[in-house]
Amino acid sequence: MAGTRAPFGSWLLGPEGQSLRRLRVRVQLFLTLGITATHAAGAGVVVVLTLFVVPQPGGGRDLLVALAIAVPVYVGLALVVGVLWGTRVAFRSLRWALRGEEPSPADRRRSMRVPLQLAAVSAALWLGATVLFTALALWLAPGRALGTAPTVAIGGTVVCAITYLMAEFFLRPVSARALAGSPESRPRGLGVGGRMLTFWLLGTAAPLVGLGYAAVLALAQGDVSAERMAVEALAISGVVLVFGLLVTVLNARAVVAPLVSVRAALGRVQDGDLDQRVPVYDATELGLLQAGFNHMAEGLAEREHLRDLFGRHVGQEVARAAAGGDVELGGESRRVTVLLVDLVGSTTIAARRTPAEVVELLNGFFEVVVDEIDREGGLVNKFMGDAVLAVFGAPVDLPDHATRGLRAARAMVERLAREQPDLDAGVGVFTGETVAGNVGTRARFEYTVIGDAVNAAARLTELAKDVEGRVLTSAETLADAGEDEAAHWRPGDRVTLRGRTEETALHVRR
């Protein structure tokens, strides 16, 4: 599987093949720092809003002293407890991943619930803060309780939303391991639409509710100046913008990152790299999209592999025609050039050598023969033991098929003499009318050529084994070839080939 520099949407999350130790360090470090920073920022904003923005009756020196003590103590304690508690919750659910084990269905479900569990831990801590600071307000300044409880609760809601999104982001490498499997086994969760609506409610609607609540308090008290009301509106609007933007950005990245990974991989597939796969780290419809791309790439690779194998068996042109749905039973009359090459003394070779040596020799022989046939655009129609039947001019029209067939015959004989000196072969080339097409049944058929030209090429091949140069053709073939090619041949005997009534004028390679 070809990877990218940021397979999980960010270089912070590391590569797919990172070690378990690096994965553990990354997960623990990022979760700790990210969630701690989010809670600290949320606590600071709530304190500022409670003390200086939301219109509330003064609480006096006692309340200020109590807050000065309670806020840092609780925040510090909550951060320590939250980190320890959250880490324990997360690592208990992710134990299989950090040990390098294969996840069970239960492990998958628990892993995908970790962001929600961390958000629940945060919610519990902020619920404690809401109770604590509301109780302090009721004890020391009851009039401030109406402003304290909603402000802390709304701040906690927003922080929980950010905690969920950050945890989901930092746990992408683990989610990819958990979601490695069939798409049907993946939890769907809220889905993209439900998640976007939920986080709009948490990141935007909740702070706006706080803004409306502040306005209601101001109207109820009736003694808030227009200047103070403007300051409060600006301050709360700033909080809405900052936290709402953060939630929106994180949510948008969660949606866009899988799409970007699929789009980039699609580009590489279009360039011909069918080994592309993308890590599936999202449990919503986006994860199904990633998994769907992987299945598509696997199918394309399998199809290309089968087409390659099919082409090796029947020829690339026949394979392309079959893939295009143009192959039907039946044939047509075509004038083609048939080339048949056959080893001399193959029985003796098989008797004197080991099977491994025989196979090696045959493979070397076929490599030369097929290479030269392909070079001239011919079709290797079939292998017949130690012989090869090739056709030039079908199924693809070749106006100069005779020239190509003769040139291929000369080239393969010369190469065999250089590269396979232990082998000897006869080659016959004949041009004539044949019936070319698909024969067999609808369940199984093959492309082949039938007719006098094939029989004549076979007779010439047998005769070629006993002549110098080891290649024979006919006057009919040379008549169809160009003058340049005809110059490479000289006249030979005239013989009556078996199965024919008229003599055939033979020509031998010079």
Residue that the structure tokens 């000369």 belong to: 410
Q: What backbone phi and psi angles, to 5 degrees, belong to 426?
A: -105, 145
CA distance 380 to 307: 16
CA dihedral of residues 178, 179, 182, 186 (deg, nearest 10): 110
Q: For each successive 10 residues of the chain (510 residues), what is the average pLDDT? A: 62 76 80 78 69 53 53 69 76 76 78 82 81 73 64 76 80 77 52 71 68 67 63 67 73 79 83 81 75 80 68 56 53 89 85 86 91 90 88 87 95 92 92 84 74 92 91 93 90 87 89
- Give the pLDDT confidence score for residue 1 in this predicted structure: 43
Q: How many independent structural domains does the chain possess?
A: 2
201 and 290, same domain (yes or no):
yes
284 and 403, same domain (yes or no):
no
366 and 501, same domain (yes or no):
yes
- Give the pLDDT confidence score for residue 211 in this predicted structure: 66
163 and 254, same domain (yes or no):
yes
383 and 264, same domain (yes or no):
no
- Give the pLDDT confidence score for residue 130 in this predicted structure: 77
335 and 233, same domain (yes or no):
no
CA distance 219 to 213: 10
CA dihedral of residues 47, 49, 50, 55 (deg, nearest 10): 170
Domain coverage including residue 405: 326-509
317 falls within a domain: no
Query: In degrees, to the nearest 5, what angle opens at C-alpha 155 toward C-alphas 149 and 160?
Result: 120
Among 280, 299, 318, the domain-final residue is 299
- Give the pLDDT confidence score for residue 455 in this predicted structure: 92
CA distance 175 to 181: 12
286 and 330, same domain (yes or no):
no
Q: pTM of the full predicted structure?
A: 0.54
Among 264, 299, 334, the domain-final residue is 299
216 falls within a domain: yes
6 falls within a domain: no
330 and 383, same domain (yes or no):
yes
Query: In degrees, to the nearest 5, what angle opens at C-alpha 108 toward C-alphas 188 and 251?
Result: 45
82 falls within a domain: yes
330 and 294, same domain (yes or no):
no
- Give the pLDDT confidence score for residue 2 in this predicted structure: 41
448 falls within a domain: yes
286 and 338, same domain (yes or no):
no
Strand, coil or helix: what is 390? Answer: strand
Among 239, 264, 299, the domain-final residue is 299
CA distance 391 to 408: 11
- Give the pLDDT confidence score for residue 302 in this predicted structure: 77
287 and 330, same domain (yes or no):
no
415 and 295, same domain (yes or no):
no
Instruction: Tell which residue, 138, 167, 34, 28, has the closest CA to residue 84.
Output: 28
78 falls within a domain: yes
Return the CATH number at 405.
3.30.70.1230
314 falls within a domain: no
307 falls within a domain: no
- Give the pLDDT confidence score for residue 61 in this predicted structure: 54
